[in-house]
Amino acid sequence: MFSSTISRWTMLHFAAATALFLVAQVAMAAGAAYPVLPLSAPATLAVVHLLTVGWITLLMLGALHQFVPVITAQTGVAGISALVSLIAILAGLAGMEAGFLSLAGQLPLSVILALPLGGTLVLAGVIAGVIPLAKMLWQTRPLPFAARFVAVGLAFLFATIAAGLVMGLAFARPDWISWPEAFSRGLQLHLMAGLLGWFMLTAMGVSYRLLTMFTLAPEERGPLGTAVLGLSAGGLAATWLLSIAAAAGAPVAPALIAATASATVLGVALYFVDMVRLYRARRRNKLELNTGMARAALVAFALGVLLAVWMLVSGNDALVGPLAYLFVFGWLSGLGLSQLYKIVPFLTWLERYGSVLGKQPVPRVQDLVDEERDEPWFILYFGGVAAGTVFGLMGWQHLWRIAIISHLVASLLIARALWIARRGTTSQARPGRPVSGTPAAPPSLLAPNLVSSE
Amino acid sequence: MNEELIQSLLDALRTVIDPELGHNIVDLGLVYEAHVENGRAAILLTTTVPGCPATDFIRQGVEARAAEVPGIAAVEVTMTWEPPWSPERMTDAAKSELGVAW
Ligand code: HEM
């Protein structure tokens, strides 16, 4: 019997996502994209989508396959549709990459059609993955607090892809969709939906759930939590819809958009207040590496918001590159890596030891990793991103590349730690509580290998 | 007599851990009730969070371990999340080992 509570394809999502994260960092370090090339260069677009579709979207979908059942307290996880989704998204991403490379002149121009085709395949894959999640969310109405962020985030994922597809089509078939229009309007909507709607809101919801669970902090977030949700998710949805209406020519007062955007910023500011409150109210005094390092990601997020507000107020567009970098590498990737450091050993534990629990001594989840060994790599990671952001803001491109190399190395070493946790070559026995009996077979690295239990 | 049996049942269940917290389920306070009557054990069990991915395994571990206790012939485990578990339910020893503030 497969346990009904383990998502079988989550680990494969994580493996693919991590590999693409490393590839994207290699490309940046090698000077094949931003910051050496401009932000709008086709090669940069290729790397940006390796990061956004390949790394963060797959990471989030993989995590949601496992954690939407936890968030909604439903049993039963997505089955084969999660695998179909993963394959379609990877194939679609490959198409998009080919399309961007043809724009960059590295592939024949006729290949540009792969951009909208790949985007369509990504859309199909996302639909296959989201249907079981949406079903679970639908059955759990009224939705628990953290799940509300996720529900809005998933809606924005579709909005992101739709806007991306329109732009992709405009690139490939300018005779169908008039070019300047699709870009000036589409890009803003695409960025807002993708980076803020899908990534930011989902990460906020997931962080609420995981961080209360792992630090033993009160799950009930009270009126402050309600304000965070209403202002950030409501404000962003309103801003996005008003922006579409404005793009379509409706008479939308700019002051109205400014008001909804300010509400979003206020909601995010309150989120930081609530996160400080959460960490203060935690019952687990000693933080583990994942919850300790999540604080660095939260700080990166807070600094990013300050930088964004400053950029909007000062109108200094030159900050957008370093800002996006801080947001993607410091907040989203930092939160992702730190939580992978808990989730990968946890899922590995379930697969390997779950069925022998109570029948023979088993290690703890923490015993599958070595926090002392890996803490320096997390410090190197966040230190590299912090330095990279400063160098980027100063316009010191060469130093920035060195900073990128340092967090690339750190990511590799963290990926190695996850690999070791997966393969079980670290010390498995808890001091004073050796694992006796025949150890259960190690799970294969990627494919699900859930032990059967009668 | 029955008290003793329940005690040995709880002792046996102390070999079952919550993998995430890394502590045994009895001292974490995850066993809400344990009764034994005529060799039949009835155990009311929770997990630290509803929907915890380890739920099935913890339940099966409890069933297997309880069935091994001499004097227990049948085991019935019921899961509940009402009332929800909270860290107050941990024993003082578990709290201090896990560094749980009080
Ligand atoms: C989660 C999904 C996605 C996210 C978060 C995302 C994010 C982004 C970001 C940040 C940029 C700006 C890059 C830069 O200027 O350097 C961008 C541009 C672009 N994206 Fe996406 N994207 C996603 C999916 C897609 C999909 C599925 C397509 C479909 C083909 C697509 C098509 C495009 C195009 C054509 C541009 C360039 C627009 C221009 O430069 O005018 N994106 N995207």
Q: What is the pLDDT along chain A (454 residues), one digit of tens a residue?
A: 335 578 889 999 999 999 999 999 999 999 999 999 999 999 999 999 999 999 999 999 999 998 887 777 676 666 889 999 999 999 999 999 999 999 999 999 889 999 999 999 999 999 999 999 999 899 888 998 999 999 999 999 999 999 999 999 988 888 877 666 666 778 989 999 999 999 999 999 999 999 998 998 888 899 999 999 999 999 999 999 999 998 888 898 999 999 999 999 999 999 999 999 999 999 888 899 999 999 999 999 999 999 999 998 898 888 999 999 999 999 999 999 999 999 999 999 988 998 899 888 899 999 999 999 999 999 999 999 999 999 999 999 999 999 999 999 999 999 999 999 998 654 444 443 433 333 444 444 444 433 333 2
Q: Count of domains in chain B?
A: 1
What are B34-46's pLDDT values in tens digits?
999 989 999 999 9
Residue type, A238: A
Q: What is the domain-level CATH number for residue B11?
A: 3.30.300.130
Tell me how far apart the alpha carbons of residues A228 and A231 are, in angstroms, rounded to a whole number: 6
Interchain CB contact of A285 with B (< 8 Å): yes
Residues of A in contact with B60 (CB under 8 A): 355, 357-358, 453
CA-angle at A408, arms to A405 and A409, nearest 5°: 90
Q: Does A115 sit in the ligand 1 pocket, CB within 6 Å?
A: yes
Distances (CA, A) of A228 to A119, A259, A270, B95: 32, 16, 6, 32
Tell me how far apart the alpha carbons of residues A356 and B74 are, in angstroms, rounded to a whole number: 20
Is B101 a member of any domain? no
Residue A376: count other Cβ atoms within 10 Å of its Cβ. Answer: 12
Size of interface A-B (CB pairs under 8 A): 93
pLDDT of residue A294: 96
pLDDT of residue B50: 78
pLDDT of residue A338: 97
pLDDT of residue A180: 62
Distances (CA, A) of A414 to A28, A118, A289, A290, B96: 19, 31, 12, 12, 30
pLDDT of residue B1: 56
What are A356-410's pLDDT values in tens digits?
998 888 999 999 999 999 999 999 999 999 999 999 999 999 999 999 999 999 9
Q: Which two tokens stand for residue A363?
A: 């290690």
3-state SS of A118-166 is: HHHHHHHHHHHHHHHHHHHHHHCCCCCHHHHHHHHHHHHHHHHHHHHHH
Query: Is B87 close to A216, i.e. CB distance below 8 A?
Result: yes
Is B29 a member of any domain? yes
ipTM confidence score: 0.90
Is B18 a member of any domain? yes
Is B95 a member of any domain? no
Q: Does A120 sit in the ligand 1 pocket, CB within 6 Å?
A: no
**pTM of the complete model:** 0.91
pLDDT of residue A319: 93
Query: Is B56 close to A5, i.e. CB distance below 8 A?
Result: yes
Is B60 a member of any domain? yes
Minimum-distance CB partner of A364 among B15, B22, B52: B22
Res. B80: pLDDT tops 80: yes
**If phi over 0 gives left and psi between -120 and 50 gives alpha, with beta otherwise, what is residue A178?**
beta
Quote the domain boundaries for residue B54: 2-86
Evaluate whether A242 touches A252 at the Cβ level (below 8 Å): yes
Q: Does A183 sit in the ligand 1 pocket, CB within 6 Å?
A: yes
Is B28 a member of any domain? yes
Query: Is B54 close to A359, i.e. CB distance below 8 A?
Result: no
pLDDT of residue B22: 87
pLDDT of residue A75: 65
Is B20 a member of any domain? yes
Query: Is B63 close to A213, i.e. CB distance below 8 A?
Result: no
pLDDT of residue A439: 43
Is B55 a member of any domain? yes
